[in-house]
Amino acid sequence: MKRQTIERLKHIYLHAYIIFWILIAIFPVIWIVSMSLNPVNVLRPTTLQIIPKNATLEAYKKVLTRPYEAYPVPFVKLLFNSLFVAGGTALLSVALASTAAYAFSRFRFPGREIGLLGFIVTQMLPATATLAPLFVILTLLHIRNTLYGLIVAYASGSVPFAIWNLKGYFDTVPKELEEAALVDGCDRHQAFTKIILPLSIPAIAVTFLFGFMNGWMEWMLAWTFLTKPTNFTLAMTLYNMQGQWNTPWSQFAAFSIIISLPVMVVWFLLQKYIISGLTLGAVKG
């Protein structure tokens, strides 16, 4: 009995702590929703009124029916493009990084430390520095003005974190597992695909989410490379709403809310894969 009450008390404390942070996380977003309901485009509200005067859903209607002003590109097409680019980026970065992370984790070869640090080093360049070489390379490959080009460009940005993150997780998988398999007659490749990868699903899921976020949110490279509106993404459309002086803040806020929802859905779905460390536990014990 006592153990249950202790646990229940502990849980109340935990709930309170978590809810405190949820409130902090949500508070600014409530303002964004408030902005999206305002019939007048106001960036800096002068009162603490959360529901503005004459609140309306007009902004949501406008951005869903005509997101990109200059062309009748349907919202669904933009959504599809964004999902395509984000998903492609996630898959490509996991694919490229998992093999490299495995090597860095399991093999001690000359140039290992330098190689690892080298990948971090690439993160020290601002994105704008990579604009010119990406432009050149993607044009040579004839994919610059396409969504495939974007996927390659974005994946190049997520690979370093992916390698480091996967390597860090692979490090926690005991070498004994693969050594047992190798003794049993598997080759390296099978040890990698049949043992390490399944046990690392949490880290792979996290890496996937990170790659997805990168591909979903980026607009700067997209606006520099793409010229066909049927290829545009949601992030580009959001950024496009800003005028030189005037921005339709209500629509901007509404669109921001809309663009955040798929990411949260992906995270909600990925949680199942992240919280799957049960098999590992059995082996480790």
Partner 1 sequence: MTDKSDVKLWEQIRRHKLAYYYILPSAIVMALITAFPILYQVWMAFTNFNISNLRNPHPQFVGLANFIKIFTNQVPLENFNFWRTFAFNVVWTFANVFLHVAIGISLAVALNAPRLALKKVYRTLLVIPWAVPSYISALIWKNMFDVDFGAVNQILSSILGHAAKIPWLTNPNAPIKILPFLSYAFYADLITNVWLGFPFMMVVATGALQSIPQEIYEAAEIDGVNERGKFFKITLPLIRSAMLPAIMLGIVWTFNQFNVIYLVSGGGPLGTTEILVTQAYKIVNPGGLYGIASAFGLIVFFILLGITLITNRVTRATESEI
Partner 2 sequence: MKKVLVAVLMVAMVATLFAGCKPKAQPVTLTIWHSWSGSELDVLNEAIAEYNKQHPEVTINQLQVPFDQLKNKYQTEAAAGGGPDILVGPADWIGDFTKANLIAPLDSYFDSTFLADYVKGALDQVKYKGKMMAFPESTECVALIYNKSLVPNLPKDTNELITLVDSISKGDTYGMVYNSGFYFTAGYFFAAGMKLFDDNYNAVVNQGNGGVLALTFLKKLASDPHFIVANDYGKADSMFKEGKAAMIINGPWAVGDYTKALGDKVGVAPMPAFADTGNPFAPFVNTKDFFVNANINDTQKKAAVDFIKFMVSKDIEQKFFEKAKHIPSNTKVDTSSDPIITGFLEQMKTGVPMPIAPEMGAVWDPMQTAIDSVLAGKATPQDAINTAQKTIQDKINAMRGQ
Please report, as residue ranges, which positions from 69 to 128 form the binding site for partner 1 (by CB under 8 A): 95-97, 99-100, 102-110, 112-113, 115-126
* Site of interaction with partner 2 (CB under 8 A): 40-47, 68-71, 131-132, 135, 220, 223-224, 227, 229, 239-246
CB of 242 to partner 2, least distance (A): 6
Distance, C-alpha 276 to centroid of its chain: 20
DSSP code of residue 187: -
Phi and psi angles of residue 88, each rounded to the nearest 5 degrees, phi first: -60, -45
53-61, 80-88, 204-212, 220-228 -> range binding partner 1 (CB under 8 A): 204-212
**Which of the listed partners (partner 2, partner 1, none) does 177 bind, with a CB threshold of 5 to 8 Å by partner kind?**
none
CB of 38 to partner 1, least distance (A): 13
**Which of the listed partners (partner 1, partner 2, none) does 69 bind, with a CB threshold of 5 to 8 Å by partner kind?**
partner 2
Per-residue contact string for residues 229-258; x = within reach of partner 1 by CB under 8 A: ------x--xx------------xx--xx-
Phi and psi angles of residue 70, each rounded to the nearest 5 degrees, phi first: -80, -15
Shorter beta-carbon distance to partner 2: residue 200 or 237: 237
Structure tokens at 181: 């398999």
59-67, 72-80, 142-150, 160-168 -> range binding partner 1 (CB under 8 A): 160-168
Residue 183 binds partner 1 (CB under 8 A): no
Cα angle 117, 120, 126 (rounded to 5 degrees) comes to 145
Shorter beta-carbon distance to partner 1: residue 72 or 199: 199
CB of 89 to partner 2, least distance (A): 21
Shorter beta-carbon distance to partner 1: residue 65 or 271: 271
DSSP code of residue 58: H
**Which of the listed partners (partner 2, partner 1, none) does 129 bind, with a CB threshold of 5 to 8 Å by partner kind?**
partner 1
> 3-state SS of 251-275?
HHHHHHHHHHHHHHHHHHHHHHHHC
Please, are residues 204 and 275 in contact by the beta-carbon 8 Å criterion?
no
- Angular region, 142: left φ>0, alpha ψ -120 to 50, beta rest: left
**Rounded Cα–Cα distance for residues 203 and 167 (Å):** 9
**Which of the listed partners (partner 1, partner 2, none) does 206 bind, with a CB threshold of 5 to 8 Å by partner kind?**
partner 1
Q: Name 122's Cβ contacts closer than 8 Å, sequence gap at least 6.
A: 160
Handedness of CA 184, 189, 190, 194 (dihedral sign): positive
CB of 159 to partner 1, least distance (A): 5
